[in-house]
Homo-oligomer: A and B are copies of this chain.
Amino acid sequence: MSAEVPHRPSQSLESRLLRRLLSHLGNPPIEIVLNWTGERLAPQGRSPIGCLRIADRRTLLSIMGDPQVRIGDAYSAGRVNIDGDLVLLMRSLYGSTSARDGSRSIWRHLTPWHRRPRRNTLVGSRSNIHRHYDIGNDFYALWLGETMIYTCAYYPSEESTLDQAQTAKMDHICRKLRIRAGESVIDAGCGWGGLALHMASRYGARVRAFSISREQIDYARQRARVQGLDGRVEFIEDDYRNISGKHDAFVSVGMLEHVGVENYAVFGHVVRRLLTAEGRGLIHSIGRNHPEPTHPWIEQRIFPGAYLPSLAEMMHVFETTGLSVLDVENIRLHYARTLRHWIERYEAAADRVRAMFDETFVRMWRLYLAGSAAAFEVGQLQLFHVLFTTRENNNIPFNRQYMYAADVL
């Protein structure tokens, strides 16, 4: 059989390579412009929702060598620019890849996965945490709101503000844990202290709160003094592995992401050891529908050592340690909304961020926040609350209405 060679319009080598890359990405509805040739690559059979402009040939060739990391770097450096809504554009990218392959990111087909996240040993964790959380309390204060809480909020209604939703999240957690006055609570990975202070001031708990970020601990201690809570809340700069004693409740919000899946069993044993016979615990963590490596740009540029587990992986914390899972809630869409609120504040403060750092930093964090919002909106990321207790505890409510009773507070 003979085949006619179809007529092809003349195209640069770069544009043919790009076409191939786009095809691998599931042909997202994004137009690509090569600034140095003026070529425009429209999406095949779809109208574009945005435009990605590549500044020069060198940038393109760099991206082709390691797209996962270098697209992000090129965007940060201003050598890739984007017209259109960044979140929407990232959504379309996630959507295109997930439509082609229901359970796996397409990225792994482009670049073999050989990068290992940084280890979360006692020393490694300190370094990893330092690199993200110690870049400046003033920076985070620009966009996290009054509560200074850097984890998924919980929106009572569509009209709720970020601060209201962060407060509602803390109450949701305290209700789930049934925190009572006088109880001893461990907060592992306490951030800037918002939850620990809330548990003490609103629920009367005695809290020992841990972080290995020095900046966070300093900030949290200052807040405790200002609020007159330093007698009830102790902020301790130490690793979760060094927590001791027996306590009524354990809570960890947004720390599991930094524990590393290889340490989940150890983490679970620590938690079990800390709980009294009727102790309860809650772990709040970003997760996934299925195991998948951390995006290498995120792991290298934003969250060294981070890993976001599937529920099956999270269960390593519990299933080797005599803990019993009572309740799992997925509040994914709340993180999408939280991120939209952060992005709004971040963009409003972009000039001050630029003054603190530089334009590259502004763009790098813009991409990280927009990519995260998109990932939650399309279901690439999930947010799990896992409530648990000791295996032997029978003093547990028969249903979950207590979490929703209007008169709890």
Contacts and interface: CB of A to CB of B under 8 A. Distances in A.
Interface string A390-409: 01111010111101100000
Given A312-B312, A320-B290, A328-B328, A398 B333 contact: yes
A128 to B, nearest CB: 26
Stoichiometry, copies per complex: 2
A203 B283 CA distance: 35
A263 interface: no
A318 B289 contact: yes
Nearest to A378: B392
A326 B330 contact: yes
Nearest to A99: B392
A65 B225 CA distance: 67
A92 interface: no
Contact of A394 (B289, B290, B377, B393): B377
Interface in A307-331: 310-313, 315-316, 318-331
A332 B399 CA distance: 11
B319 A290 contact: yes
A319 B291 contact: yes
A98 B321 contact: no
29 contacts: A98-B391, A102-B321, A102-B322, A102-B391, A103-B319, A103-B321, A103-B322, A155-B398, A289-B318, A289-B319, A289-B322, A289-B324, A289-B391, A311-B312, A311-B319, A312-B312, A312-B315, A312-B316, A312-B319, A327-B328, A327-B329, A329-B400, A333-B394, A377-B394, A379-B391, A379-B393, A379-B394, A400-B404, A401-B404
Q: Number of contact residues on A: which range applies? A: 35 or more
B391 A334 contact: no
B334 A398 contact: yes
Interface in A285-321: 289-291, 310-313, 315-316, 318-321
Contacts of A378: 392
A103 B315 CA distance: 14
A323 B289 contact: yes
Contacts of A403: 400
A324 B393 CA distance: 29
